[in-house]
């Protein structure tokens, strides 16, 4: 069969096109040390680079089938988008910072869990910083978070007497959690500490205690100042005096609770009940009670602020104020999210201070005072 010159040209053209046509999806080798790019993802998924970009940015225009192919290719190549470059492009990092003053304090991990789970549901990542009760380190952390282009920050202050002025507000939306700086009237979430401390003290009074001491912690922090205020209100309402020796304030660590506990128990007329305003002070107090061989609650009732799993494994099991730690974290993120997206917080004012109620968990460490021949 003869083929004309014109037909020979057409056949040659078809062969050339067939040679240059690429398969719909191309295999891309994935070496252990290979740093893959968006182009590699596109080649493996059989789509354009713009389609990959659209999937990463959450554009709904991409079909479910292509979106699935892109995700499978990203997983196969262990491809991670450059979030810094993406944040520069879109003006959002989808990341928030959280700064706490003491990660070893069992209160904060529960708050962080509430923050992280709420953030995850909204598509945000969390960067965690521990200031170690050091205002200078806290400032360094805030500067680092700003340089990382976080969209907002949740902050538990290491120094609530410091001025958190417009300089911080200009950097990113900020929500205070737990400790509220002096003068702040908005954008904060905490326990209703006055109400909680008043409830706890009222419990001791209702048991018949009149000689009640308090380990009030550092009164520079709003939490401990408010708990002392709640204690005083309950005592005043009951017509009970607070001897100066029964009011201990200062630092917040276990050793502080231990030393204050020893001093209280060695008094000529020791208290029949002691209220500790945080969990570390409580543990220190319990160590003093144990070393002094003072029966609890036979000779002294003990009540703490913060309720953790280990409270129920002491002997006796500890009566304590249970803060809504998880909800504090969750509400703090919701408030921050409303600020970052400039949206109202459903059913609440995100510009206000949100105070959450605590619960009193009554166990075996509190009981009526023993009769010792003196007025209690």
| pLDDT for position 65 | 87
The single-letter DSSP state of residue 186 is S
User: What average pLDDT does this structure show over 93-103?
Assistant: 91
Question: 179: Cβ–Cβ under 8 A, 6 or more apart, which residues?
Answer: 101, 156, 157, 160, 190, 221, 222, 223
User: For residue 129, what is the enclosing H or E element?
Assistant: strand 125-130
318 φψ region: left (φ > 0), alpha (ψ -120 to 50), beta (else):
beta
**What angle is formed at CA 200 by the lines to CA 347 and CA 351, rounded to 5 degrees?**
25
- The tens digit of pLDDT for each residue in 142-180 reads 989 988 889 999 999 987 766 666 555 567 789 999 999
Q: 353 near 338, Cβ under 8 Å?
A: no
How far apart CA 11 and CA 170 sit, in angstroms, is 68
Q: How confident is the model at residue 337 (pLDDT cuts 50, 70, 90)?
A: very high
DSSP string, 28-55: ----TT----HHHHHHHHTS-HHHHHHH
User: Looking at residue 318, what DSSP letter applies?
Assistant: P
Nearest Cα residue to 128 out of 155, 157, 159, 160 = 155
Which of the residue ranges 129-143, 157-171, 228-242 would you say has the lowest mean pLDDT?
157-171
Q: Return the biggest CA–CA distance within the chain.
A: 129
Q: For residue 2, is pLDDT > 60?
A: no
- 19-33 per-position pLDDT tens digit: 444 445 555 554 455
* pLDDT for residue 115 is more than 80: yes
In the prediction, which pLDDT does 17 show?
Answer: 45
Computed over every residue of the chain, the mean pLDDT equals 84
Q: How confident is the model over 269-296, as a mean pLDDT? A: 95
| Single pTM value for the model | 0.75
The pLDDT assigned to 60 comes to 67
Token reading at 323: 């803060």
CA-only gyration radius of the chain, Å: 31
Structure tokens given for 287: 């160590």
Domains in the chain, please, with CATH?
A: 19-79 (1.10.260.40), 93-184+326-357 (3.40.50.2300), 193-323 (3.40.50.2300)
Q: Are residues 107 and 156 in contact, defined by beta-carbon separation less than 8 angstroms?
A: no
Asked which of 186-200, 268-282, 306-320 is least confident by mean pLDDT, the reply is: 306-320
pLDDT of residue 348: 58
> Taking the CA of residue 279 as centre, how many other CA atoms within 13 Å lie in the half-sphere pointing to its CB?
15
pLDDT in tens, 68-91: 888 888 888 877 765 555 554 545
Highest mean pLDDT among 60-69, 145-154, 202-211: 202-211
SS (H, E, C) 261-301: HHHHHCCCCCCCEEEECCHHHHHHHHHHHHHCCCCCCCCCE
Task: Look at residue 188 in the predicted model and tell me its pLDDT.
Answer: 93
Q: Is residue 142 within 8 Å of residue 123, measured between CB atoms?
A: no
Contacts of 242 (CB under 8 A, 6+ apart): 212, 214, 232, 235
Residue 42 and residue 216: Cα distance in Å, rounded?
61
Sheet with 125-130, edge to edge strand ranges: 125-130, 95-100, 152-155, 174-177, 188-191, 353-356
The pLDDT value recorded for residue 351 is 56
* Spatial CA neighbour of 320 closest among 280, 282, 367: 282
Residue 128 pairs in a beta bridge with: 98
Listed in sequence order, the residues at least 6 apart from 209 whose beta carbon sits closer than 8 Å to its beta carbon are 272, 273, 301, 368, 369, 376
- What is the CB neighbour count within 10 angstroms for residue 188? 22
Q: What pLDDT score does 198 carry?
A: 98
Which region among 38-42, 256-260, 289-293 has the lowest average model confidence (pLDDT)? 38-42
């Amino acid at each position: 069969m003869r083929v004309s010159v014109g037909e020979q040209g057409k056949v040659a053209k078809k062969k050339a096109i067939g040679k240059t046509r690429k398969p719909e999806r191309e295999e891309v080798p994935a070496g252990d040390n290979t740093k893959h790019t968006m182009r590699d993802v596109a080649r493996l998924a059989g789509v354009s680079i713009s389609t990959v970009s659209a999937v990463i940015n959450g554009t709904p225009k991409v079909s479910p089938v292509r979106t699935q192919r892109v995700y499978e290719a990203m997983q196969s190549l262990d491809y991670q988008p450059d979030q810094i470059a993406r944040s520069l492009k879109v003006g959002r990092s989808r990341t928030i910072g959280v700064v706490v003053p003491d990660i070893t304090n069992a209160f904060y991990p529960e708050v962080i869990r509430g923050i992280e789970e709420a953030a995850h549901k909204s598509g945000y990542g969390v960067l965690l910083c521990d200031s170690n009760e050091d205002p200078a380190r806290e400032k360094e952390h805030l500067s680092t978070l700003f340089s990382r282009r976080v969209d907002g920050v949740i902050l538990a202050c290491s120094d609530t007497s410091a001025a958190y002025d417009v300089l911080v507000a200009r950097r990113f939306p900020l929500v205070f959690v737990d400790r509220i700086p002096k003068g702040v009237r908005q954008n904060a979430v905490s326990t209703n500490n006055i109400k909680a401390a008043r409830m706890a003290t009222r419990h001791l009074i209702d048991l018949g205690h009149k000689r009640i001491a308090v380990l009030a912690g550092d009164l520079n922090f709003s939490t401990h100042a408010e708990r002392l205020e709640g204690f005083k209100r309950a005592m005043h309402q009951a017509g009970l005096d607070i001897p100066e020796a029964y009011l201990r304030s200062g630092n917040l660590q276990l050793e502080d609770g231990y030393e204050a506990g020893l001093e209280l128990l060695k008094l000529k007329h020791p208290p029949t009940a002691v209220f500790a305003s945080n969990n570390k002070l409580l543990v220190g107090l319990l160590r003093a009670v144990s070393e002094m061989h003072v029966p609890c609650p036979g000779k002294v009732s003990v009540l703490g602020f913060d309720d953790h799993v280990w409270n129920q494994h002491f002997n006796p099991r500890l009566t304590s104020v249970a803060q809504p730690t998880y909800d504090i974290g969750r509400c703090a993120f919701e408030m921050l999210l409303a600020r970052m997206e400039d949206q109202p917080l459903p059913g609440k004012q995100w510009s206000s201070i949100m105070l959450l109620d605590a619960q009193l968990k009554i166990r075996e460490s509190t009981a009526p005072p023993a009769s010792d021949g003196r007025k209690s």
